[in-house]
Amino acid sequence: MSTTTTTTQTASSAAGTVSLKAAFDTDIHSRYKYTDYLPVYDETTTFPPIEPFEAVHRGLEADKAKPNLFKTGNASVEITRLTPRIGTEIKGLQLSQLTDAQKNELALLVAERGVVVFRDQDFKDIGRKKQKEFGEYFGRLDPVGAHVKDYIEFPNIYLGADNLYRLQQRSAKLTTTGYHSDVSYEHQPPALTVLTLLSVPATGGDTAWVSQVAAYERLSEPIQKLLEGLTAEHDGNPQAESARRDGKFVRREPVKSHHPIVRVHPVTGKKALFVNPGFTKKIVGLKDEESAALLQLLFNHINHSADLQVRVKWDDRTVSIGDNRVTAHTAISDYDVHDPEEGLRHGFRITTLGEQPISVQEAGLAL
């Protein structure tokens, strides 16, 4: 029988000694290739609120025709639109070998398609330094939550028999799914997310994305016009309070932000809904009942519109890049973590912070 152990380690950093807490199964992980990517919790380092900064928009530097992106010499590149409205899959192109011109065109493609899925990648094996450099090309990285040792900018994704925290959080609900846009309560919330899985279940553990652009466009014009004039409060306090109750360390104090319900993408100029059930708490200026009813309408629309969604099946050589500004996403924890045939879901994400959301009025696009 394997033994689950909680350990506290120390590591050196520019700030001095850092206390790291990790939960792991000694039997499983003694033979695990990606031990360096296992989740640790830094219980020393704190960060101040994020000050305003100039966001990077690589898509603005791209040729809209994308003449460079799929140039690979003699290699064959397969490009598949996963659904009409969201999601593109690419085979035969290595992220680790892209030029800057190709990366710029990739950023544009992700903005246009919401999420781009790359198959047969060597990305997980190029090392943390090169992985970080890849992410930093697209903008400032956002350090949150459990992370990879020595790389606080790599938030960890881990659900296995020896680490059930995320699953337990949803144990009182009928479903483990929950569409959200990562830390949307930040004043300048995330832009791109590079998601890499190192270990995947034999079946299950998919990720679904929904197009917030298509969700906006599906609404009637009177509702579109109403929403374009409204802002919503996104609040990080409930998540932080829950983490503290569970004995987790909160690295940055949570904030509240008022964001337009309809935002404009700085590269494509497309309008997109920007609400999610995880962090959007109320609509500013409305009565409580009005706010709750309108938000529930939008949440139901986002959650239930399968014709605006894409579901991606993982393998351990797949990398996805999604744009948080025009999508919401959810993990699908439909496998039994206690069944060795179904296995472990483990990976990490690299997330860049973007601009303060742009309203349709600021963009001059109001109906």
pLDDT surpassing 80 at residue 293 = yes
Percent of the chain exceeding pLDDT 90 equals 63
| Annotation marks residue 180 as catalytic | yes
pLDDT tens for 163-188 read 555 555 556 778 878 899 999 999 99
The mean per-residue pLDDT over the stretch 111-127 comes to 98
Per DSSP bridges, beta strands 88-91 and 115-118 are: parallel
| Annotation marks residue 329 as catalytic | yes
| Cα(211)–Cα(307) distance, integer angstroms | 10
Residue 142: what are its φ and ψ, rounded to 5°?
-110, 110
Which residue, among 323, 308, 244, has the nearest Cα to 59 in the 3D structure? 323
Q: Which of 58-67, 73-82, 122-131 has the lowest mean pLDDT?
A: 73-82
Whole-Å CA distances, 188 to 51, 53, 61, 115, 324: 9, 9, 21, 20, 12
Identify whether the C-beta of residue 216 lies closer than 8 Å to the C-beta of residue 262. Answer: yes
Of 263, 301, 329, 346, the catalytic one is 329
Query: What is the span of the domain harbouring residue 145?
Result: 4-363
pLDDT surpassing 80 at residue 259 = yes
| Annotation marks residue 36 as catalytic | no
Residue 163: what are its φ and ψ, rounded to 5°?
-155, 95
Residue 21: what are its φ and ψ, rounded to 5°?
-115, 130
Task: Say what the pLDDT of residue 32 is.
Answer: 82
Q: In whole numbers, what is the pLDDT of the chain averaged over residues?
A: 87
Of 251, 263, 346, 349, the catalytic one is 349
Of 128, 166, 180, 317, the catalytic one is 180
The mean per-residue pLDDT over the stretch 83-112 comes to 97
Identify whether the C-beta of residue 155 lies closer than 8 Å to the C-beta of residue 145. Answer: yes
Structural domain total, the chain: 1
Of 42, 142, 162, 182, the catalytic one is 182
Q: CATH number of the domain at 68, please.
A: 3.60.130.10
pLDDT tens for 352-364 read 999 999 999 999 9
